[in-house]
């Protein structure tokens, strides 16, 4: 198999962790006789500093020409502390999602037993949790019209959805539910929001096409509570852009750290694979970041984008074996972790490669 893979390191620790996602892909290509051709591009704060544009035209052209994209992270504190900034790193991420038609964000909450004690939740609450989130990615309040009045006393963000946007993400979620436990929970706020009422109506219609899948509807506030109270009750979760952003970050605590969670943004063409963590500039360049989410994002790419399930399984198994052997980065270590078992970014990435057997 020959595939063109674009690496966009992005900002902060993204530039460190994507190194290991790429190295894992190179090892897989070598051992399974695939040909992965890599290219690199800039986006976010790094791109603003270089070109003034968070998504340069050259990056977008490379993205459209690739078979899959491995992305690092985006953002910088200087923009967080300056709400008036007109050009922001996140604009690049939103634009590439729109340009590539990446409407479905898949976030598997993959729980490794070795990290049960890394979560703030009790092990007996967590054990057995296996959730796949489908977050709609190109609609909602993030893309709606934004306004602020002249005297800076009022601001608004338009929350909107089209029927087709709900239909296409719902079908992807139902298809996935059929391959799992045939349970789907759709999360909305239909008791208050008109967009959520449309969302629920459309999901109810799509559900009729999948009579073998059990459908539950839940308000966002209840879902946020249930996620920490009884996460095992969820299997496939379908939700809108804003709600999905919040719920999946909350769910990162189930896995013990954002540094453990991968994601895939899919449409009908090029896939976009990234850790869910941010750019973490406070630890950037210090060899402290956890590379496992980037490595697991590479595994998602192999599985979802290329259909290479055996190769993807080899990568996730290597991560599991690394954890079973007691190796940790600082974010997933605890008081009982021996000091000599706590590794930096590069050392942890190298360990996974050691455990990557074919």
Q: For this structure, is 245 an active site residue?
A: yes
Determine which one of 39, 117, 157, 245 is catalytic. 245
- What does DSSP assign to residue 113? G
Determine which one of 3, 22, 172, 189 is catalytic. 189
The upper half-sphere exposure of residue 237, i.e. CA atoms within 13 Å in the direction of its Cβ, equals: 32
CA distances from 203 to 101, 187, 198, 242 (A): 21, 10, 9, 17
Determine which one of 95, 142, 157, 288 is catalytic. 142
CA distance 240 to 161: 9
Q: Are strands 262-266 and 271-275 parallel, antiparallel or unpaired?
A: antiparallel
Q: For this structure, is 229 an active site residue?
A: no
**Closest alpha carbon to 40 in 6, 71, 4:** 6
Q: For this structure, is 249 an active site residue?
A: yes
Q: For this structure, is 82 an active site residue?
A: no
Q: For this structure, is 210 an active site residue?
A: no
CA distances from 176 to 84, 123, 132, 150, 249 (A): 41, 27, 9, 47, 21
Determine which one of 39, 117, 130, 249 is catalytic. 249
Determine which one of 221, 268, 313, 324 is catalytic. 221
CA distance 105 to 150: 36
- Could you list the active site residues? 142, 189, 221, 245, 249
């Amino acid at each position: 198999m020959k595939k063109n893979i674009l690496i966009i390191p992005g900002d902060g620790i993204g530039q460190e962790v994507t190194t290991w996602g790429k190295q894992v892909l190179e090892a897989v290509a070598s051992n399974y006789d695939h040909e992965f051709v890599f290219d690199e591009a800039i986006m976010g704060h790094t791109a603003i500093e270089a070109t003034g544009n968070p998504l340069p035209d050259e990056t977008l052209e490379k993205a459209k020409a690739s078979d899959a994209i491995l992305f690092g992270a985006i953002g910088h504190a200087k923009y967080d502390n300056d709400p008036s900034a007109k050009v922001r790193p996140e604009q690049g991420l939103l634009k590439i999602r729109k340009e590539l038609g990446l409407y479905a964000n898949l976030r598997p909450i993959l729980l490794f037993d070795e990290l049960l004690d890394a979560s703030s939740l009790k092990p007996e609450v967590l054990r057995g949790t296996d959730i796949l989130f489908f977050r709609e990615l190109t609609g909602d309040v993030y893309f709606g019209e934004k306004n602020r009045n002249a005297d800076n006393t009022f601001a608004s963000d338009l929350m909107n959805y089209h029927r087709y946007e709900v239909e296409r993400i719902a079908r992807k979620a139902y298809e996935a539910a059929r391959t799992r436990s045939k349970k789907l929970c759709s999360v909305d706020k239909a008791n208050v929001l008109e967009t959520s009422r449309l969302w629920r109506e459309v999901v109810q219609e799509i559900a009729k096409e999948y009579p073998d899948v059990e459908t539950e509807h839940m308000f966002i506030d209840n879902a946020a509570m249930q996620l920490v109270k009884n996460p095992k009750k969820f299997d496939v979760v379908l939700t809108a852009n804003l709600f999905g952003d919040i719920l999946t970050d909350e769910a990162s605590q189930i896995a013990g750290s954002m540094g453990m969670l991968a994601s895939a943004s899919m449409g009908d063409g090029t896939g976009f694979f990234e850790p869910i963590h941010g750019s973490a500039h406070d630890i950037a360049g210090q060899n402290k970041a956890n590379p496992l989410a980037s490595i697991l994002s590479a595994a998602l790419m192999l599985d979802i984008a290329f259909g290479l399930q055996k190769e993807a399984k080899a990568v996730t198994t290597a991560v599991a074996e690394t954890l079973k052997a007691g190796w940790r980065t600082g974010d997933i270590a605890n008081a009982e972790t021996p000091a000599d078992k706590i590794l930096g970014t590069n050392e942890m990435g190298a360990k996974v490669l050691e455990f990557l057997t074919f």
